[in-house]
Structure formats: structure tokens, C-alpha cells
Amino acid sequence: MTRTLVIACGALATEILAINTLNGWDHYELQCLPAKLHLHPDRIPDAVEKLVLENRDRFETIFVAYADCGTGGVLAARCKALGVEMINGPHCYAFFEGNQAFEARGEVTSFFLTDFLARQFDGFVWKPMGLDKNPELLELYFGNYEKLVYLAQTEDVALTAKAKEAAQRLGLTFERRYTGYGDLVSALDPKNASAPRPVPG
């Protein structure tokens, strides 16, 4: 029996693989759900539960690499009922910056991008919101925002340029903030008591 499974959001796949490479970790198997579930967060708990139930007999430990991600506490309640741990925090913006630091900033008028969202801005923001066909909706959606904050996981000039372009398209000022992988590292670290790790035996 393979001992540990991480069920992750597809938007975190690149970051999780990079963390594993940097730390030389191989203590779990990774399965990712489609990143586009974030366009319908109400579907995330059912999708996670389905994977947990499908794999429970194959793994001794299952860890869910999602934060709440817009599920309104439903995902946390589902994970608790299933007896599996998950990442703490409201969303990936918070745990990349560090949940405490993110909460302390209280940036209610900021719109956030990560490396993934900078790379996939059209597919996950512009087109799903209908801004490609109805640009007049821009003021409705973003009129109360003041700034786009790019939380960068990597030092990538091309991604920074994409994020800056996104800010211009949204009519927002731009700030780049390097976070690295933040709390995602400690969430996956086998030294952390709640992280995915092989069960001794």
C-alpha cells in the first residue's frame, strides 16, 4: 500500500512539485483536481470527497492541499467528517504570503494574482467574467478595487510583465510582492505534525 496521498488544487501543482524538488521530498503521491473548479467553488467539496473515498483503501494518510477557497467553510467541514487534514487559511493568496501576515494587512480593496493566475489571467479572470465580450462590466466588477497585488512565488520577469499588464487592463495600480511558497512549505513539510507524511510501520 502506498502510504500518503496529497489531493491538491491544480493551480498549486507547479508550486508543489517545485517545493518537492527544492527539499528533496518524496514522502507522498500527488493527485490534482482541475484548477477550473475555482470558477465554481461550490463543487470543490464534492470533488475532494470523491477522490478521498476513491483512494481511502489505497493510502494510509490523505492530506488536502486546498484552503477554504470560497467554499464558505463547507470544505473544512467535509474534510473533518472524512477525517483528513487540509491547509489552514481562506485561500492561496493568504497562505502564500503567510496567513497571519495576510490577515494583518486587511487589503479589502486589493485584487490578487499568484504566479498561476498571472500566467492564466485570460482563462481564469478575463474571459470567465465576460470582460472579453462585455468590457463595460469592468467598472461593475473592479470599480471598488484600487490595486492589483501580484504575490510572486518565483523571480520571473515574464510573469511580472504579465501581472503588470493585467493591472493595466483592470485599471488598477500595480504592486509586486515576492512571497515564495509561504505556508505551503510548512503545510507539506513532513516535520510538521499535521503535514502529509508516511505512517511509521
Task: Summarize pLDDT for 108-124 with one digit per residue, the tens.
Answer: 999 999 999 999 999 99
Mean pLDDT (whole number) for 15-23: 94
pLDDT in tens, 118-150: 999 999 999 999 999 999 999 999 999 999 999
Q: What is the pLDDT of residues 58-83, one digit of tens each?
A: 998 999 999 999 999 999 999 999 99
Residue corresponding to grid cell 510572486: 152
Domains of the chain in sequence order: 4-90+183-188 (3.40.50.510), 99-178 (no CATH)
Given pLDDT bands bounded at 50, 70 and 90, which one contains residue 191? confident
The model's pTM is 0.89
- Average pLDDT, whole number, for the chain? 92
